Every structure is written in C-alpha cells, then in structure tokens.
Amino acid sequence: MHVKININGKLYEKDVEPRLLLAHFIRDVAGLTGTHIGCETSICGACTVLSNGLAVKSCTMFAVQADGADLVTIEGMAKDGQLHPLQESFWEEHGLQCGYCTPGMIMCSHQLLSRNESPSEAEIREALDGNLCRCTGYQNIVKAVQSAAGKLKRTTKVAAGD
C-alpha cells in the first residue's frame, strides 16, 4: 500500500506492507533513528511521537494507519539549531543518563504541557505512566518537565506581549 506521511514538515512516501509498524517507517524508511523501540507490548513509550498533535506509541500503529498524518519526532523538536525548552531542560536537570528513553519522554512531556501548562509533580509523574526509564529514577525527569513548563510559560507570555 502506498502511504504518504509528513514527518517534521517533510513528506515521506513509499509502498509498504500493511504490517509495517509506524516506528519502523520512521526509523527505516524516513531514516529518523531518534525514535527508539524498547518493548513489544505498548508499555515502555520509547517510540512515542506526535501524530496529528497527539502523543502515540509508534510501535502500536501500522504505518498505513498514519497515511496522510503529520508527525513530529524528536528530530523535529529543535528549531533553527535551538533546542526546544524540553530538550534544554532535560539537559540542564540531568534528566537522562543512557538517553534511550529520552526521545519518548520528551515527546510525551510535550503532550502533557500542551494540555496542562503548569502540572504539579504528581501530575507529571502520572503523565509519564507510559514511559519507562531504567536509569534516572525519574526524579530529574520530573524536574526537567517542571523547568520546561516554566520556560514555555515565559515564552508564551513574551509572545503574547505581556
């Protein structure tokens, strides 16, 4: 089946088997290897991307289901060489060690902050239910999301002319 998927503003199209996982389309067809695969059962969240603005686990979707969709992956987060506030905050707060879960963590946190601009610690911890990290003990990830929330709010205010 012929699919066209827009990833980070660029159109990728290919004839694919219906069973091709979206995660494999992103990694193998588009060559965007920042999206990782960490489990087979939709638990670990390493493969999280935004599809039409919604955080989804790209290993639990077939590429054909995303035909025509707009995707954002970790590679699409930085703009003009400037890291996204979430990326910056993960760096500043030491919110990563081996880095394997990080892209998924950042994409899911992005979804959280798009729905709740100042989440509490408990809300952040609950929001990360679908993302496993084996290195950091989560504490600095929570701090990173809190810090990014602060930065994003300030940016919005500046943009709004406050």
Distance in Å, CB of 28 to other proteins, minimum = 8
Phi, psi at 3, each rounded to 5°: -120, 150
Cβ nearer to other proteins, comparing 122 with 158: 122
* Three-state SS at 15: strand
Q: Whole-angstrom Cα distance, residue 125 to residue 33?
A: 27
Interface positions, 56-115, toward other proteins (CB under 8 A): 56-57, 59-62, 64-65, 73-75, 77-78, 83, 87-88, 90-92, 94, 96-103, 106, 108, 111-112
Question: Contact with other proteins (CB under 8 A): which of 4, 54, 118, 157?
Answer: 54
Sheet holding 10-15, edge to edge: 10-15, 2-7, 70-72, 48-51, 54-57
Residue among 70 and 132 whose Cβ is closer to other proteins: 132
Q: How many CA atoms lie within 13 A of 148 on its CB side?
A: 31
State which of residues 30, 32, 148, 152 lies at the interface with other proteins (CB under 8 A): 32
- Nearest approach, Cβ of 89 to other proteins (angstroms)? 9
132 binds other proteins (CB under 8 A): yes
Beta partners for residue 70, in sequence order: 6
